[in-house]
């Protein structure tokens, strides 16, 4: 049903299956597009006078489906949603409200009503808007949406999705920045190509004072996670970027990960203190479709049963803010937290991995001699090459037959270290 070419909506009043093609010439004269319009402005006419609401809803759905090319209207977790763009050009997932749907309907079809002077234009009836929003997901002719990303990503089968827009195979909407220039990604990288990719990533991390090799290795894993997150069959742990004191580069490393993954500044948040605030923050974040979550500059012990649950749950169910209705959304995030000498409580220690920075200086913010003086600026300029490097490493692993990593088991996150 998705993506199939369909004829204009039926306005005869006789109920027909939504996916059934219309017979050419079967519409009466009232349904014909006005001849004065240009070809690109011809919309199906939908008569609302003396017709059952179900028929008007059916015709409206046909018109919406046909206008949803390329798709920006979706079904997610049983709800009608759309991808919206903010004033900065960044896109996010939003639950479709009645006013938005009514506007979409008006732009997808010409609604008319009978008067004593003939047919007149009308606005889509609110009863029809509400009827469509109340339908089960199975009755909505829109594609399913799992997540929204801003970088090319690895699919479950090891292939790479790099075409902007909706990827039907993975049910993901990919919206890259207009400035992103992506070099070719080798399908079967050889050893030299894979090593060159690793060297580029080591270069971008070279100015961070990692306390040990494990912290460096975990940073490489953190950089890689957003690109391969959608191919991991399971959940990923929380990355803790830790240091003995301020000014060591914790927030900069988190920002670096976000810049590469999203092409924009990191959307950092303060960690809530109350469980109710944790619930609201997690729900709002997952509903927006964010694929990277950063809690910056922890000030107290990090302990939250809600966060612990979110890290290991494949989906998150909660009440929609300001409503008595609930929504269940997939959890496909990369999680990061930064702080000085981070302390953990609750059941979080086993759900985290550590990245420790230590400059061995009393005033680390005075360090000089960096390889990249403006690291974020350098990353923005070379983002396409960095993404290709990350995906080259991922493709090299698939090309090598997906060898198991010689690392200890990580309970609840078995598929993450082995990827």
Spans of all domains in the chain: 29-145, 191-399
User: 371-381 as b/e, with b when 16 or more CB fall inside 10 Å?
Assistant: eeeebeebbbe
Grouping H, G, I as helix, E, B as strand and the rest as coil, residue 75 is strand
For residue 419, the number of C-alpha atoms closer than 13 Å in the C-beta half-sphere is 29
Task: Express each pLDDT in 289-318 by its tens digit.
Answer: 778 999 999 988 999 999 999 999 888 888
Angle between helices 250-262 and 383-399 (to 10 degrees): 80
Q: Give residue 418's pLDDT.
A: 54
How high is the pLDDT of residue 412? Answer: 73
Strands 334-340 and 238-243: parallel
Considering only CA atoms, which of 391, 395, 414, 393 is closest in space to residue 404? 414
Query: DSSP character for 316?
Result: E
Partners of 242 in beta bridges: 339, 356
Question: 55-90, pLDDT tens digit by residue?
Answer: 999 999 999 999 999 999 999 988 999 998 888 778
Residue-wise burial string across 125-141, b where 16 or more C-beta atoms lie within 10 A, e elsewhere: beebbebbeeeeeeebb
- Residue 154 is inside which H or E element, if any? strand 153-154
Is the model more confident about 312 or about 418?
312
Beta bridge partners of 95: 81
For residue 29, pLDDT beyond 70: no
Let me know the angle formed at the C-alpha of 55 by 51 and 59, rounded to the nearest 5 degrees: 120
What is the pTM for the complete model shown?
0.83
Q: What 3 state SS string does 87-111 have?
A: CCCCEEEEECCHHHHHHHHHHHCEE
Alpha carbons 312 and 272: distance in angstroms, whole number:
19
Query: Which segments of 319-382 does DSSP mark as H helices, in order?
Result: 375-381
Q: What is the pLDDT of residue 45?
A: 95
The rounded distance, in Å, linking the Cα atoms of 193 and 172 is: 28
The pLDDT value recorded for residue 75 is 96
- Per-residue pLDDT of 220-242, as tens digits, reads 999 999 999 999 888 999 999 99
pLDDT, one tens digit per residue, over 387-417 is 999 999 999 998 888 888 777 777 778 777 6
User: Which tops the pLDDT comparison, 167 or 89?
Assistant: 167
| Counts of helices then strands in the chain (DSSP H, E) | 10, 18
pLDDT of residue 23: 31
Instruction: Say if residues 169 and 155 touch (Cβ distance below 8 Å).
Output: yes
Q: Residue 265 has what pLDDT?
A: 75
| 233 HSE (CA, 13 A, CB side) | 4
Architecture of the domain defined by 191-399: 3-Layer(aba) Sandwich (3.40)
């Amino acid at each position: 049903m998705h993506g199939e070419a369909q004829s204009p909506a039926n306005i005869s009043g006789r109920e027909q299956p939504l996916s059934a093609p219309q017979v050419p010439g079967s519409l009466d004269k009232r349904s014909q597009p006005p001849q004065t319009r240009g070809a690109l402005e011809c919309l199906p006419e939908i008569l609302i006078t003396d017709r059952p609401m179900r028929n008007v809803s059916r015709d409206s759905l046909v018109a919406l489906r046909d206008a949803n090319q390329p798709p920006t209207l979706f079904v997610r977790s049983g709800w009608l949603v759309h991808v919206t763009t903010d004033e900065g050009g960044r896109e996010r997932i939003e639950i479709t409200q009645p006013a938005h749907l009514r506007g979409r309907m008006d732009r997808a079809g010409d609604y008319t009503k009978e008067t004593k002077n003939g047919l007149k234009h009308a606005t889509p009836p609110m009863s029809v808007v509400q009827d469509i929003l109340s339908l089960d997901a199975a009755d909505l002719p829109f594609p399913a949406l799992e997540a929204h990303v801003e970088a090319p990503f690895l699919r479950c089968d090891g292939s790479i999705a790099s075409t902007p827009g909706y990827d039907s195979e993975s049910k993901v909407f990919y919206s890259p920045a207009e400035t992103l220039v992506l070099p070719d990604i080798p399908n079967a990288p050889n050893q030299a190509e894979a090593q060159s990719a690793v060297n580029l990533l080591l270069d971008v991390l070279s100015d961070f004072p990692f306390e040990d090799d494990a912290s460096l290795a975990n940073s490489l894993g953190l950089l890689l996670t957003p690109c391969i997150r959608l191919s991991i069959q399971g959940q990923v742990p929380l990355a803790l970027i830790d240091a003995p004191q301020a000014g060591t580069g914790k927030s900069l490393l988190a920002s670096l990960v976000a810049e590469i993954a999203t092409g924009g500044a990191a959307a950092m948040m303060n960690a809530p203190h109350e469980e109710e605030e944790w619930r609201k923050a997690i729900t709002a974040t997952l509903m927006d479709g964010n694929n990277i979550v950063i809690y910056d500059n922890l000030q107290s012990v990090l302990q939250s049963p809600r966060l612990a649950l979110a890290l290991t749950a494949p989906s998150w169910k909660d009440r929609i803010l300001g409503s008595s209705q609930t929504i269940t959304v997939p959890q496909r995030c990369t999680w990061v937290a930064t702080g000085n000498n981070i302390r953990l409580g609750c059941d979080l220690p086993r759900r985290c991995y550590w990245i420790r920075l230590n400059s061995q200086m009393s005033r680390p913010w005075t360090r000089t001699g960096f390889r990249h003086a403006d690291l974020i600026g350098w990353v923005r300029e070379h983002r396409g090459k960095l993404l290709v490097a990350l995906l080259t490493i991922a493709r090299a692993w698939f090309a090598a037959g997906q060898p198991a990593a010689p690392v200890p088991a990580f309970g609840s996150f078995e598929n993450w270290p082995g990827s």
